[in-house]
Amino acid sequence: MATIESSLKNMLLTLFVITAIAGTSLGFVYKLTEKPIAAAKARKLQAAIKEVVPGFTNNPGDNVLEVTSDEGLPIKLYPAKKDGKLIGVAVETMTNKGFGGNVKIMVGFKPDGTIINYQVLEHQETPGLGTKMATWFKTDKGNQSVLGKNPGKNNLTVSKDGGEVDAITAATISSRAFLDAVRVGYETLKKNEAKLEEGGAK
């Protein structure tokens, strides 16, 4: 009996030591990688903003406006300026209506609301179908492209729903989700234009 108790104590002590070492190691690795990961995210964000609103000379990330859409979704607005003049706003927008869950995109809007460009940031759509949204809505073929269109003037819904945009073949739900994210971004931007002005983006 004493041997069993002794063995149990040794096992518990060994387990405790292993757990402590593992926890310390994980904490050290986290601290070691925290700054490089943050820097990588910042570079990725800056690259996305440059793609959707090229030509700015300020740092849009310094004046980001974090708001909530009417749907309760977190939206970020990055004002892009050139020599002090607003040339567009990069909107990190999303929808929860995707086939596989949330779809997050970065959309660049001119001051009048016209779409400059977009980049898909996150999604869980079906490979080979919904994933085509990364390029489909930029393609100048039929009525696929949303570039140069204004959600306030154009009906940016899929043609099956009476809109002006051709859905991705066999991926109507993903197409609806993408266009819904664009709509959410546009409407949230318009609702918060005054706040952007008050923020005095440099």
pLDDT of 3 higher than 60: no
pLDDT tens for 9-68 read 778 888 888 888 887 877 777 677 777 787 787 788 888 999 999 999 998 988 899 999
Domain count, the chain: 1
What pLDDT sits at residue 29?
Answer: 72
Query: Is residue 106 a part of any domain in this protein?
Result: yes
Rg (alpha carbons) of the chain, rounded to whole number: 23
Domain hosting 126: range is 53-199
128 in any annotated domain: yes
Bridge-based pairing of strands 65-68 and 85-95 is unpaired
Cβ-count burial of 167 within 10 angstroms (0-12 exposed, 13-18 middle, 19+ buried)?
A: buried
The SS3 assignment for 142 reads: coil
Domain assignment present for residue 39? The answer is no
Phi, psi of 188 (to 5 degrees): -70, -40
- Burial level of 10, CB count in 10 A (0-12/13-18/19+)? exposed
Residue 12 within a domain: no
- Residue 175, token pair as written in the block: 């197409």
Does 139 reside within a domain?
yes
What are the pLDDT digits (tens) for 136-194?
999 999 999 999 999 999 999 999 999 999 999 999 999 999 999 999 999 999 999 98
Q: What is the rounded distance in angstroms from the CA atom of residue 83 to the CA atom of residue 33? A: 36
